[in-house]
């Protein structure tokens, strides 16, 4: 294990947490980010060019963002200064900028690393712009949230966004082997439990090393843990999920698309992920209603009833029993025939309404409650459809100044197959009327 030990840059202070002791000492030691630090990675190419621009490092916790920032400062001989947006304010920023200006006067550059940069408000984010533009600092910001939503457009336009990926199983395994090298012994786990430990880390390298350290502390000599023993010793780590941020939107998007794609199994998986993470069931119920009207519509009119019934059932039962009703509605919607014809029709009609302005409906379908309105021809020539054969007169209901348009075009699926027949019949009758 000596090669792993050397590659990881392990230092000798055994009192420091294992995750800190194993912090990479070169960019190439960072695992799971070959697209950034590999031979052809973005950062590798950037450093080879001899210049470093401002960066926003976006990715989940424990993927190497802070470590990369520190190493970039060393590779470029910039003075490393770190701030946390959680603990810093305007005064801290001003002091950091002034120190950077002092260094610049002495011919030394500054890499200003700002952790959790998305927590700065808009005005604080704007304060970086002048010192980025004049080269006082090279800003490297780290965020776990989508920069498109959380950072000013002006700031984003002056920095390149680099995406750090959640660590995959091979990357986590590399870290576990480094931990074993540091301790000079293997993790006391069965192969199945080792795989479970990697899953518990949830793509977070720091978590993987912390879990490994907990195991080394807990294991008695000669003891080996199976999956059940592992869970008992370290407990399961809660999934990474922020109900107000990116994880929330990713999972609800995945649920919606799985339902749209008629995959009830994937839909149930994402539903369960959200429930386990503590999402508000009523929020999910509202989204299922949206799925019923947007992606199923009149192909199966029962879908909307099922979705609304699930919401009512949850209101009545509460958790956890009411969550089963939402799951049932998700399965119903996922397995229902799909059509967005009504959704598309509404969007087309809305566009037409904006394009044509405030056209008056044809006078023959307007009520005429006053003598003046009757004199103006309101209601003249109107045919009461219930008195016509098949309760269909075939009159034109569009404004006189507007050509007839087709907005609703149902497919030959589900109940809309029957609607299609009716529309075709009525179109034929209109043609006969001339």
CATH code of the domain containing 217: 1.10.8
Domain boundary among 142, 163, 184: 163
Query: Can you give the pLDDT at residue 2?
Result: 38
Which residue ranges of the chain lie beneath pLDDT 50?
A: 1-11, 238
Report if residue 66 sits inside a domain. Answer: yes
Q: d(Cα 295, Cα 303) in Å, to the nearest integer?
A: 10
Do 42 and 150 share a domain, yes or no? yes
For residues 185 and 13, the answer to whether their CB atoms sit within 8 Å is: no
DSSP H or E segment with residue 272:
helix 264-276
Domain count, the chain: 4
Query: Can you give the pLDDT at residue 243?
Result: 55
Q: d(Cα 301, Cα 194) in Å, to the nearest integer?
A: 49
pLDDT digits (tens, 9 = 90+) for 60-100: 899 999 999 999 998 888 999 999 998 888 899 999 999 99
pLDDT digits (tens, 9 = 90+) for 13-26: 667 888 889 999 99
For residues 206 and 144, the answer to whether their CB atoms sit within 8 Å is: no
The pair of three-digit structure tokens given for residue 148, joined into one six-digit string: 């498109």
Report if residue 16 sits inside a domain. Answer: no
For residues 140 and 111, the answer to whether their CB atoms sit within 8 Å is: yes
Query: Can you give the pLDDT at residue 368?
Result: 86
Tell me which DSSP letter residue 240 carries: P
For residues 66 and 24, the answer to whether their CB atoms sit within 8 Å is: no
Report if residue 142 sits inside a domain. Answer: yes
Q: d(Cα 182, Cα 176) in Å, to the nearest integer?
A: 10
Residue numbers of the domain that contains 173: 169-234
Q: What are phi and psi of 80, to 5 degrees?
A: -90, 125
pTM of the model: 0.64
* Burial grade of 47 (CB within 10 A; 0-12, 13-18, 19 or more): middle
* Burial grade of 244 (CB within 10 A; 0-12, 13-18, 19 or more): exposed
Report if residue 224 sits inside a domain. Answer: yes
Do 159 and 40 share a domain, yes or no? yes
């Amino acid at each position: 294990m000596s090669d792993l030990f050397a590659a990881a840059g392990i230092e000798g202070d055994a009192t420091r947490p294992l995750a800190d002791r194993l912090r990479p000492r070169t960019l190439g030691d960072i695992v799971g980010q070959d697209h950034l630090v590999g031979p052809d990675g973005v950062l590798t190419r950037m450093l080879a060019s001899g210049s470093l621009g401002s960066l926003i490092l976006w990715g989940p916790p424990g993927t190497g963002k802070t470590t990369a920032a520190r190493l970039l400062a060393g590779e470029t001989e910039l003075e490393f200064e770190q701030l946390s947006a959680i603990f810093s304010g305007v005064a801290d920023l001003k002091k950091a900028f002034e120190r950077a200006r002092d260094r610049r006067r002495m011919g030394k550059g500054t890499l200003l690393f700002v952790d959790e940069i998305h927590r700065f408000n808009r005005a604080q984010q704007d304060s970086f712009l002048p010192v980025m533009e004049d080269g006082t600092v090279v800003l490297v910001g780290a965020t776990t949230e989508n920069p498109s939503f959380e950072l000013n457009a002006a700031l984003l336009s002056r920095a390149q966004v680099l995406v750090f990926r959640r660590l995959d199983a091979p990357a986590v395994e590399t870290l576990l082997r480094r931990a074993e090298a540091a301790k000079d012994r293997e993790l006391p786990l069965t192969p199945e439990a080792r795989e479970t430990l990697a899953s518990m880390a949830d793509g977070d390298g720091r978590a993987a090393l912390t879990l490994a350290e907990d195991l080394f502390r807990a294991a008695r000599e000669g003891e080996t843990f199976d999956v059940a023993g592992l869970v008992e010793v370290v407990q399961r780590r809660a999934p990474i999920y922020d109900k107000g941020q990116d994880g929330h939107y990713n999972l609800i998007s995945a649920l919606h698309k799985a339902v749209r794609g008629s995959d009830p199994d994937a839909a149930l998986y994402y539903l369960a992920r959200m429930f386990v993470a503590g999402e508000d069931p009523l929020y999910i119920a509202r989204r299922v209603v949206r799925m019923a009207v947007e992606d199923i519509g009149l192909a199966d009119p029962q879908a909307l009833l099922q979705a609304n019934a699930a919401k009512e059932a949850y209101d009545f039962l509460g958790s956890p029993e009411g969550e089963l009703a939402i799951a049932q509605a998700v399965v119903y919607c996922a397995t229902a025939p799909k059509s967005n014809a009504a959704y598309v029709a509404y969007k087309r009609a809305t566009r037409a309404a904006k394009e044509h302005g405030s056209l008056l409906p044809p006078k023959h379908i307007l009520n005429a409650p006053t003598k003046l309105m009757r004199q103006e021809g309101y209601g003249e020539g109107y045919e009461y459809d219930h008195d016509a054969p098949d309760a269909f007169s075939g009159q034109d209901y569009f404004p006189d100044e507007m050509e007839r348009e087709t907005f609703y075009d149902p497919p030959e699926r589900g109940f809309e197959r029957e609607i299609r027949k009716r529309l075709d019949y009525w179109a034929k009758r209109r043609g006969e009327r001339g």
